[in-house]
A and B are shown apart, each in its own frame.
Chain A
């Protein structure tokens, strides 16, 4: 039941965390679900189950980035897509590029705070950092996106 309810939203989040890399997003979801399965009791005791799930995804993202083999597995910047559904990166390449330019923690901060409307405390739990760091990372992320996507974000907007 948990997988049926949560997998779809997790994949949505993972696509944003990976800046539109659908294959990596699927990997992250599988990894996060496996870790949740192994730590099911801890998940049920979590202060915020939502933050726990987000943290599992974020940790999976960071672990993926640490894997050396992935550098060799993906020698090109753009992975050619098959004839399937268009990827997020192909439908909005400008936003994909802007998200890719953000460091992963900064990208996750803006996804959790701005897209999922999580509060600062839950976002801090998800990212394993202090509330102050969440605020600064979110603000800096929005600044960077403002620079990249000038027409869309009014000056002075903060989160």
Chain B
């Protein structure tokens, strides 16, 4: 049996070193896919009104704001003006988090100890002709057009790049992945709470949203004990 194991391993070939060009090509491919997906979703008009869509599409094509030669991180899909309004959250608070602000017309679609999904009201009541497995709006594990909050061990992230900011007295980093910006908040010595907004929020709105987020200690402790995996509730 060990002969087969050895033979199969040899068959798979050596694990090749990866060049910088290959990595850049992979990342560029991923960024294009994200843009295509987002554009298609916006065009479908499933999340926002026509006016908001027009504004969102307009800012999609814009370039990052440049101030004194320094590139400013773009939150979410790069909103430079407020197309969504943040309001006080008045719904039932999640079990493991307290949230102060949400975009107007959004609700908590999923709540578990490792995170939250905050989705537009349109996701509440799928019509009879909707297939939730096809339309990702109704899938609480799909974050397209939504805000996701999730906890993760710091060891999983490694070194982070981005603007360092203060969020409600906590150190945080605005980390850009393609056209999406994550607000990565340090909530303990070994756990981050990441706010990922795939909706047109400005940088100020994303920081305000993060400042209003409180993670309960029990959830932080539970995530701190994990080793790169998330237990089921």
Bound CA span A83–B3, Å: 29
Q: Which residue of A lies closest to B178 (CB)?
A: A37
Known: A92-B7, A111-B8. A44 touches B150 (CB 8 A): yes
Bound CA span A47–B229, Å: 5
B11–A92 touching, CB < 8 Å: yes
Residue among B5, B12, B37, B159 with max Cβ neighbours from chain A (10 Å): B12
Is B51 positioned at the interface, with any CB of A under 8 Å from its CB? no
Our pick among A20, A34, A91, A145 for the contact of B29 (Cβ within 8 Å) is A34
Chain B residues near A12 (CB-CB < 8 A) = 12-15
Stretch at the interface among A1-9, A58-66, A73-81, A128-136: A1-9
Known: A33-B29, A42-B143. A157 touches B11 (CB 8 A): no
Interface string of B162-192 (1 = CB under 8 A from A): 0000000000000001100000000000000
Is B27 positioned at the interface, with any CB of A under 8 Å from its CB? yes
Bound CA span A91–B114, Å: 47
A9–B15 touching, CB < 8 Å: yes
Chain B residues near A149 (CB-CB < 8 A) = 4
B114–A49 touching, CB < 8 Å: no
A3–B23 touching, CB < 8 Å: yes
**How many interface residues does chain A have, given as a range?**
35 or more
A42–B11 touching, CB < 8 Å: no
Chain A residues near B26 (CB-CB < 8 A) = 3, 7, 30, 33-34, 37
B228–A49 touching, CB < 8 Å: yes
Known: A3-B27, A4-B18, A157-B1. A42 touches B33 (CB 8 A): no
Chain A residues near B159 (CB-CB < 8 A) = 1
A41–B143 touching, CB < 8 Å: yes
Q: Which residue of A lies closest to B182 (CB)?
A: A41
Bound CA span A145–B14, Å: 22
Bound CA span A37–B179, Å: 12
Question: In chain B, residues 2-44, which have Cβ atoms closer than 8 Å to a Cβ of chain A?
Answer: 3-5, 7-18, 22-23, 26-27, 29-31, 33-34, 37
Bound CA span A131–B170, Å: 43
Is B125 positioned at the interface, with any CB of A under 8 Å from its CB? no
Known: A33-B26, A33-B29, A153-B1. A44 touches B11 (CB 8 A): no
Is A118 positioned at the interface, with any CB of B under 8 Å from its CB? no
Chain A residues near B228 (CB-CB < 8 A) = 49
Chain A residues near B27 (CB-CB < 8 A) = 3, 37
Is B81 positioned at the interface, with any CB of A under 8 Å from its CB? no
Is A68 positioned at the interface, with any CB of B under 8 Å from its CB? no
Is A13 positioned at the interface, with any CB of B under 8 Å from its CB? yes
Bound CA span A9–B152, Å: 23
Bound CA span A30–B27, Å: 10
Chain A residues near B230 (CB-CB < 8 A) = 45-47
Question: In chain B, residues 212-233, which have Cβ atoms closer than 8 Å to a Cβ of chain A?
Answer: 228-232
Q: Which residue of B lies closest to A33 (CB)?
A: B26
Our pick among A30, A40, A48 for the contact of B177 (Cβ within 8 Å) is A40
Chain A residues near B14 (CB-CB < 8 A) = 12
Is B115 positioned at the interface, with any CB of A under 8 Å from its CB? yes
Closest Cβ of chain A: how far from B97's Cβ, in Å? 14
Sorted nearest first, the 9 A-B pairs with minimum C-beta distance are: A37-B30, A8-B15, A12-B12, A152-B3, A7-B18, A88-B11, A3-B23, A16-B12, A34-B33
Which residues of chain B have a CB within 8 Å of any CB of chain A? 1, 3-5, 7-18, 22-23, 26-27, 29-31, 33-34, 37, 114-115, 141-143, 148, 150, 152, 156, 158-159, 177-178, 194, 196, 228-232
